[in-house]
Amino acid sequence: MPINKIVASFDKAVADIPDGATIMIGGFGTVASTPTCLLEALARKGVKNITTVSNTTGFGSDVWKLMGYKFAEDMDILVRNRLVKKAIVAAPVSTIYQNTFEKLLRAGEVEVDMVPQGTLAERIRAAKAGLGGVYVPTGVGTIVEKGKEKKVINGQTYLLELPIQADFALIKAHKGDRWGNLVYRRTSRTFNATMAGAAKVTIAEVDELVELGQLDPEVIVTPGIYVDRVIARPKDVKVDDKPISQEALESQKRYKERGSA
Q: Say if residues 52 and 21 touch (Cβ distance below 8 Å).
A: no
Domain containing residue 198: 10-131+163-233+242-253
Phi-psi sector, 8: left (phi>0), alpha (psi -120 to 50), beta: alpha
Which one, of 9, 13, 77, lies nearest residue 39 by Cα?
77
Can you give the pLDDT at residue 95?
Answer: 83
- Count of structural domains within the chain: 1
Contacts of 89 (CB under 8 A, 6+ apart): 52, 53, 54, 55, 56, 57, 112, 113, 114, 115, 120
Can you give the pLDDT at residue 168?
Answer: 98
Residue 64 resides in a domain: yes
Can you give the pLDDT at residue 48?
Answer: 96
DSSP 44-99: HHT--SEEEEEEE----HHHHHHTT-SS---THHHHHTT-EEEEEEEE-S-SSS--
Q: What is the CATH number of the domain that holds 82?
A: 3.40.1080.10
Residue 210 resides in a domain: yes
Residue 208 resides in a domain: yes
Can you give the pLDDT at residue 65?
Answer: 86
Per-residue pLDDT for the chain (261 aa), expressed as one digit of tens each? 479 999 999 999 999 999 999 999 999 988 999 999 999 999 999 999 999 999 999 998 888 888 888 888 999 999 999 999 999 999 999 888 899 999 999 999 999 999 999 999 999 999 999 999 999 999 999 988 999 999 999 999 999 999 999 999 999 999 999 999 999 998 899 999 999 999 999 999 999 999 999 999 999 999 999 999 999 998 764 433 344 445 545 555 655 565 555
Can you give the pLDDT at residue 30?
Answer: 87
- Answering whether pTM is above 0.85, one says yes
Can you give the pLDDT at residue 159?
Answer: 97
Residue 113 resides in a domain: yes
Can you give the pLDDT at residue 242?
Answer: 40
Q: What does the chain come to in residues? A: 261
Which one, of 235, 203, 245, 240, lies nearest residue 10 by Cα?
203
